[in-house]
Structure 1
Amino acid sequence: MKKELILSIGILMLSLSSCKKSEEGNKGVIKAEPVPTEILTDNGEIDSTIAYKSDIEGNKSIKTDFVYKATDKSLVKVVFNYDPKNRTVSITNNNKTFVLEKSEAKVHETVYKKDDMTATVKGDSLIIHQGNNIIELERTKI
């Protein structure tokens, strides 16, 4: 009985001392470095007019949509596509969609153009020039 008690205590002590948990995690997993997805303006500065959406894991998406409000209180849906091959803005109002291509970018301003229509993005404002008409839009918090 003494031998069994000493043997069981020895096994218990051995098992408790060998079960230390490592707080460093799995060393076999290689962590990938995040790739910067900052969109640069034409002169190499970070384009401050771009607002990224991040998912739960922190990944940034480069296609964003916003609701803008015109001075006459009408709502306009604006979708920015920041894909390096196809940088466009789509402006939808009254079931009509206008797609304009990026023509130039400065640090705090981006200009999109198509035919006689020009859209200038400055911070939360979007100014559209179409012929003699000027339409001012402000991004909503919806």
Structure 2
Amino acid sequence: KVRSDDDFIFYNQPAGQGVTYRSGGGTAPDAIVVDTAAVPPGIEKIVVTASPDGAGQTFQGIEPTATVRNADDGSVLATFTPPQLGAETALVVIEVYRRGGAWKARAVGQGYADGLAGIATDFGVSVEEEPAAAPVAVTPPAPVAAPVDPRIAAP
């Protein structure tokens, strides 16, 4: 379960205790850096999620790949590309979790057709729907009086 909004790390909030997001700027892969020594003791799991940039865009034809690297030397410890995706608009890619005092990584690859809201709901976050816009009352324009020629005196 998520404790608060402070636990979310993303492009508008790129750093938290022990977790940092770095954008690849469209030319390189984005990176999630997990410093397990800096993660607070009460945190048992870090879930790395992804969603395509475009509103309503799905993962059809996109192959997101997670690469787990050693923080000391950058060597690849594991890579994971989920099976072919289709209508999914959000994805749990990988989990970094604490078990028996040690940190481990697990490939997940679970897609969601209802976007990041579906993932958030599964992790105990209440997602409030944007209220529907109130209908706008259309008032017909008030009749406009014909212009008055000041040279004409009123009776």
For Structure 1 versus Structure 2, the TM-score category normalised by the shorter chain is under 0.3
Larger radius of gyration: 1
Give the structure with the larger strand fraction. 1
